[in-house]
Copies of this chain bind each other. A is one copy, B any other.
Amino acid sequence: MTRSLVRVLVISVAATALHAAADEGMWLPNRLPTKQLKEKYGFEPSAEWVEHVQRSCVRFGSGGSGSIVSADGLVMTNHHVGSDDLEKLSTPQRDLLKTGFLAKTRAEELKCADLELNCLWSIEDVTERVNAGVKSGTSAADAWQERLKAIAQIEKESQDKTGLKSQVVTLYLGGRYHLYRYRRYTDVRLVFAPEQQIAFFGGDTDNFEYPRFNLDCCFFRIYENDKPLKSEHYLKWNPAGAKEGDLVFIVGHPARTQRAVTAEHAGFLRDGFYTGRLEALWRREVQLMSYGARSSEWERQSHGDLFGVQNSRKAITGIVTALQDPRFIQRKADEHRKLRDAVDAKPEWASKWGSAWDEVAAAEATYGRLYDRFSLFEARGGGVLSYSDMMRGARTLVRLAEEKSKPNDERLEGFRETDLESLYLQLYSPAPIYEDFEIDRLASGISLAVERLGGNDPTVVKLLAGRAPRELAEQAVRGTKLKEVAERRRLAEGGTAAIAASTDPMIALARLIEPEARAVREKYMDEVEGPERQAYGKIAAARFAIYGEDQYPDATFTLRFSYGAIRGYSENGRNVPAFTDMAGLYARWSERGKTGAFELPQRWIDGRSKLRTDQPFNFVCTADIIGGNSGSPTVDREGRIVGLVFDGNIQSLAWDVGFTEEQGRSVCVDARAMIESFRTIYDAGPLADELLGR
Q: Which residues of A contact B (CB under 8 A)?
A: 1, 3, 5-6, 203-205, 267, 270-271, 275, 278-279, 282-283, 285-286, 290, 293-294, 296, 313, 320-321, 323-327, 329, 440, 443, 447, 450-451, 454-456, 461, 464, 466-471, 474, 593, 597
Contact = CB atoms under 8 A, between A and B. Distances in A.
Contacts of A275: 451
Nearest to A475: B6
A62 to B, nearest CB: 25
Given A204-B290, A326-B466, 15 more contacts: A204-B293, A205-B290, A205-B293, A267-B456, A270-B450, A271-B454, A278-B283, A279-B279, A282-B282, A282-B286, A323-B455, A326-B461, A326-B464, A326-B467, A329-B455
A325 B468 contact: yes
Chain A binding surface SS class: helix
Contact of A471 (B6, B204, B593): B6
A469 B474 CA distance: 42
A271 B203 CA distance: 35
Contacts of A282: 279, 282-283, 285-286
A450 B282 CA distance: 17
B440 A1 contact: yes
B286 A324 contact: no
A583 to B, nearest CB: 21
A283 B293 contact: no
A6 B321 contact: no
A376 to B, nearest CB: 14
A579 to B, nearest CB: 24
Given A205-B294, A593-B296, A468 B1 contact: no
A321 to B, nearest CB: 7
A205 B285 CA distance: 15
Nearest to A266: B455
A464 B327 CA distance: 11
B279 A283 contact: yes
Contacts of A443: 1
A323 to B, nearest CB: 8
Contacts of A474: 3, 6
24 contacts: A1-B290, A1-B440, A6-B470, A205-B293, A267-B455, A270-B454, A271-B450, A271-B454, A278-B451, A279-B279, A282-B286, A286-B286, A286-B313, A293-B597, A296-B593, A320-B447, A323-B455, A324-B450, A324-B468, A324-B469, A326-B461, A326-B467, A326-B468, A327-B468
Contact of A285 (B203, B286, B323, B468): B286
A464 B468 CA distance: 42
A466 B330 CA distance: 9
A455 B279 CA distance: 17
A471 B5 CA distance: 9
Contact of A466 (B293, B323, B327): B327
A468 B205 contact: no
B321 A470 contact: yes
A345 B393 CA distance: 55
A656 to B, nearest CB: 16
Contacts of A293: 203-205, 597
A687 to B, nearest CB: 34
A453 to B, nearest CB: 8
A603 to B, nearest CB: 21
Nearest to A309: B286
A576 to B, nearest CB: 17
B1 A470 contact: yes
A455 B271 contact: yes
Contacts of A447: 320, 324
A320 B326 CA distance: 36
Contacts of A468: 6, 321, 324-327
Contacts of A205: 290, 293-294
A324 B466 CA distance: 10
A349 B8 CA distance: 65
A204 B440 CA distance: 18
A270 B455 contact: yes
Contacts of A325: 467-468, 471
Nearest to A597: B293
A447 B324 CA distance: 8
A320 B451 CA distance: 9
Contacts of A290: 1, 204-205
A582 B468 CA distance: 37
A21 to B, nearest CB: 26
A356 to B, nearest CB: 21
A268 to B, nearest CB: 9
A470 B286 contact: no
Given A1-B290, A468-B6, A474-B6, A326 B204 contact: no
A234 to B, nearest CB: 40
A307 to B, nearest CB: 14
Nearest to A292: B205
A469 B323 CA distance: 11
Q: Which of A3, A313, A468 has the most CB of B within 10 A?
A: A468
Contacts of A454: 267, 270-271
A505 to B, nearest CB: 15
Contacts of A593: 296
Nearest to A593: B296
A267 to B, nearest CB: 6
Contacts of A6: 468, 470-471, 474
Q: Which of A285, A294, A296, A324 has the most CB of B within 10 A?
A: A324
A293 B596 CA distance: 10
Q: Which of A5, A285, A326, A470 has the most CB of B within 10 A?
A: A326
Nearest to A272: B454
Contacts of A296: 593
A295 to B, nearest CB: 9
A342 to B, nearest CB: 26
A366 to B, nearest CB: 16
A3 B468 CA distance: 12
- Counting from the closest, the 9 A-B pairs by CB-CB distance are A325-B468, A271-B454, A205-B293, A282-B282, A6-B471, A282-B283, A275-B451, A6-B470, A282-B286
A53 to B, nearest CB: 38
Nearest to A202: B293
Contacts of A271: 450-451, 454-456
Given A6-B470, A204-B290, A455 B313 contact: no
